Amino acid sequence: RFEEDSLTGAIEHFKSPHSCRYNNANCLLSHRFGLRHAQVVALSTGTKCINGEYLSDQGLVVNDCHAEVTARRALLRFLYSQLEFFLSKRPEDWEESIFVRHKERGYRLRDNIHFHMYISTSPCGDGRLNSPYE
C-alpha cells in the first residue's frame, strides 16, 4: 500500500540543500475505478527549481526535474513494457494484459483499466489550472 508519509520522509532525508520546493507524483492503475486495490505503476520525486547560485551553464545540474514529468516518463515506460508483454504472449494468454487488439490494427487499453495521477503540489507553467494572467 502506498504511504505518502513514508515517501515524504524519504524525500526529506535525501533532499539537496541546493534545491527548493520538493514534490512527488505517482500514477496508479485501477480496475473499474477500484482504488482500494490500485497498483502504483509510476512513482517519482522531484524539485521545482534549483537555487540560483547552484545553476550550471555547463550541463552539470538538472535545473527543473519536476516529479510529474518523470512520473509521466515512468508511466510511458510501464505502458511500453505492458505492450511488449502483450506481443510476446499467445492469444490465449492475452487476458493477463492491460491491452486488447483494436480492429485488427493497433491496440487499446481494456475497458476496465483506468489511470490516476497524484501530484503533491500543483503543477507550474502550462500545467497550471489557474493562471494569474486570466
Mean pLDDT score of the chain: 75
- The pLDDT, as a whole number, for residue 23 is 77
Q: Where are the domains of the chain?
A: 1-122
Q: How far is the C-alpha of 42 from the C-alpha of 77, rounded, in Å? A: 9
Look up residue 7 and give its three cell numbers.
Answer: 515517501
Greater confidence (39 vs 9) lies with: 39
Supply the residues annotated as catalytic. Answer: 68
H or E, element range at 84 = helix 67-88
What are the tens digits of pLDDT across the range 67-79? 888 888 899 999 9
- The pLDDT, as a whole number, for residue 125 is 62
124 pLDDT tier (thresholds 50, 70, 90): low
pTM for this entry:
0.69
18 pLDDT tier (thresholds 50, 70, 90): very low
What are the tens digits of pLDDT across the range 110-120? 998 999 988 88
Q: Which of 116, 122, 125 is nearest to 26 (CA)?
A: 116
Q: How far is the C-alpha of 45 from the C-alpha of 10, rounded, in Å? A: 10
What are the tens digits of pLDDT across the range 81-118? 999 988 898 888 888 889 988 887 788 999 989 999 88
- The pLDDT, as a whole number, for residue 109 is 92
Q: Is the pLDDT of residue 57 over 60?
A: yes
